[in-house]
Amino acid sequence: MSTAAFAAAETATSPDALVAALAAAGRAAQAGLARMSGGEKADALRAAASELRAAEAEILAANAKDLATGAANGLTPAMLDRLKLDPARLAGIAAAVEQVASLADPVGQVIDATERPNGLRLSRVRVPIGLIGIIYESRPNVTADAAALCLRSGNAVLLRGGSEAVGSNRAIHAALVRGLTSRGVPEAAVQLVPSQDRAVVGAMLTAAGLIDMIVPRGGKSLVARVQADARVPVLAHLDGICHTFIHHSADPAMARSIALNAKMRRTGICGAMETLLIDATFPDPHGVVEALLDAGCELRGDPRAQAIDPRIQPASAEDWDTEYLDAVLSVAVVDGLDDALDHIARHSSDHTDAIVTGDDTAAERFLNEVDSAIVMVNASTQFADGGEFGLGAEIGIATGRLHARGPVALEGLTTYKWQVRGAGQVRP
């Protein structure tokens, strides 16, 4: 926790006052950060990674205390696993910070440039957004990951982690700040909210003009609360109800392997397929269904899908709007591309939807007419990921319509300004 954060926590008389004080310190630090070069920021991140490694004993001890408290408070094994650090996980966190340091600095990139007939030269140049608020749950790695991405893109960050990870987050944050400040980064560029009062989250969400963007990292209930209460712009996705449509022209072997991978590679990620749509005239529906059933997936189908295999359970109306995040899949038989597009328009969560097809016209119509953040042809929806997209690392996947969509990485943490260079021009 920074000196500024300590001071703010000690003198603030309300959650709003605390957030205002932290935001003011963060914004001032961001202005300092804006004067550092890309190389200086990268060096500072490498120093932070070194400090994370050097603080292994301290961080793991804090984490062990968090784990003991969590176990006493009845956290589930899954929650305790998300909270748990060990030497390998901590090494991974430090390596991830170094990886972010190695990414190209988006700040200062020229998006486009023109010269007007009157000689004015205009360019749009990427600049940091400002102060980013991160609200997360029990995973302590978010403390380092999110801080690194924000800092690499020139932003200050205000981190508010879950109370079950408070000791781990403080130890990680302290190590980060030691490294960063040793290379000239202002201390308040990375601040950890020094209070676990839940009202502080509400104060962050409504701090329009103080915090420029909020990124929630965690489960659906956290994201839903943030989206419902925020007056500050939010970058997030609530659901990943991803569809795969097997067009009648699809290669049966490709359809089988994509459907199996999209559902079963990892069932708990937002890019996992949750609904399979099979064209009524696709020649091998049973091959696809059997592959999924044999892999241990429960299938819930409409009557026509149930006719494919007796092991398919009946789907209820809610199934078409459910993100299972488990080895469960809804399956519907549709009458061609238009029927599939219609189903997707009604039920997609705008995350990722795919078609498997041998028909280029159908592929292009699907790419153009499905209005999701990511649309795919002949590929597994599990590729919906910043790393797989070559972005290096992602702060999250966004399904909103403004600013940034799909996997959001460093570029999505920037905005732009117009730079105008003249030679004395006045407007007629």
Classified as helix, coil or strand, 396 is: strand
Name, in order, each residue with C-beta under 8 angstroms of 386's C-beta and a sequence gap of 6 or more.
392, 393, 394, 397, 407, 408, 409
Q: Is 157 a binder of its own copies (CB under 8 A)?
A: no
- Answer for the pair 401, 377: CB distance below 8 angstroms, yes or no: no
Backbone angles phi, psi at 205, to 5 degrees: -65, -25
Sign of CA dihedral 329, 334, 340, 346: negative
Q: Is 346 a binder of its own copies (CB under 8 A)?
A: no
CB of 258 to its own copies, least distance (A): 6
Q: What is the x/- site pattern for its own copies, positions 194-233, by CB under 8 A?
A: ------------------xx-----------------x-x
Q: Is 383 a binder of its own copies (CB under 8 A)?
A: yes
Q: Which is nearer to its own copies, 80 or 327 (CB)?
A: 327
Token pair in block for residue 311? 């092991």
Q: Which is nearer to its own copies, 108 or 283 (CB)?
A: 108
Q: Is 104 a binder of its own copies (CB under 8 A)?
A: no
Q: What is the x/- site pattern for its own copies, positions 114-153, by CB under 8 A?
A: x-x---x-x----x-xx-----------------------
Give the interface segment with its own copies, choosing from 186-194, 290-298, 313-321, 414-422 (CB under 8 A).
Answer: 414-422
CB of 116 to its own copies, least distance (A): 6
Sign of CA dihedral 144, 146, 151, 157: negative
Give the interface segment with its own copies, choosing from 41-49, 138-146, 295-303, 417-425 (CB under 8 A).
Answer: 417-425
Cα 78 from Cα 83, distance rounded (Å): 9
Distance from the first to the final alpha carbon of the chain: 54
- Answer for the pair 246, 280: CB distance below 8 angstroms, yes or no: no
E strands, 161-297, in order: 190-192, 213-217, 242-246, 273-279
Q: Which is nearer to its own copies, 290 or 388 (CB)?
A: 388
Cα 392 from Cα 371, distance rounded (Å): 25
Q: Which is nearer to its own copies, 3 or 425 (CB)?
A: 425
Residues touching its own copies, count (CB under 8 A): 62
Of 231, 209, 248, the C-alpha closest to 130 is: 209
Contacts (CB under 8 A) with its own copies, residues 11-70: 31, 34-35
**Which position among 178, 184, 377, 392 is part of the footprint of its own copies (CB under 8 A)?**
377
**Which position among 5, 315, 379, 409 is part of the footprint of its own copies (CB under 8 A)?**
379
**Which position among 258, 288, 292, 332 is part of the footprint of its own copies (CB under 8 A)?**
258
- Answer for the pair 152, 42: CB distance below 8 angstroms, yes or no: yes
Helix (H) or strand (E) holding 255: helix 252-264
Strands 406-408 and 396-398: antiparallel
CB of 164 to its own copies, least distance (A): 31
Q: Which is nearer to its own copies, 68 or 345 (CB)?
A: 345
Q: Is 251 a binder of its own copies (CB under 8 A)?
A: yes
CB of 120 to its own copies, least distance (A): 6
Longest dimension (CA), the chain: 79
CB of 22 to its own copies, least distance (A): 18
User: b/e map of 364-383 (b: 16 or more CB within 10 Å)?
Assistant: ebbeeebebbbbbebbbbbb
Q: Which is nearer to its own copies, 141 or 372 (CB)?
A: 372
CB of 261 to its own copies, least distance (A): 4
Order of all β-strands in the sheet with 213-217: 190-192, 156-160, 131-136, 213-217
Q: Where are the alpha helices (DSSP H) in 73-115?
A: 77-83, 87-102
Give the interface segment with its own copies, choosing from 38-46, 54-62, 288-296, 377-385 (CB under 8 A).
Answer: 377-385
Q: Which is nearer to its own copies, 198 or 231 (CB)?
A: 231
Q: Which chain residues interact with its own copies by CB under 8 A?
A: 31, 34-35, 108, 114, 116, 120, 122, 127, 129-130, 212-213, 231, 233, 251, 254, 257-258, 260-262, 265, 345, 363, 367-369, 371-380, 382-383, 388-390, 401-403, 405-407, 415-427
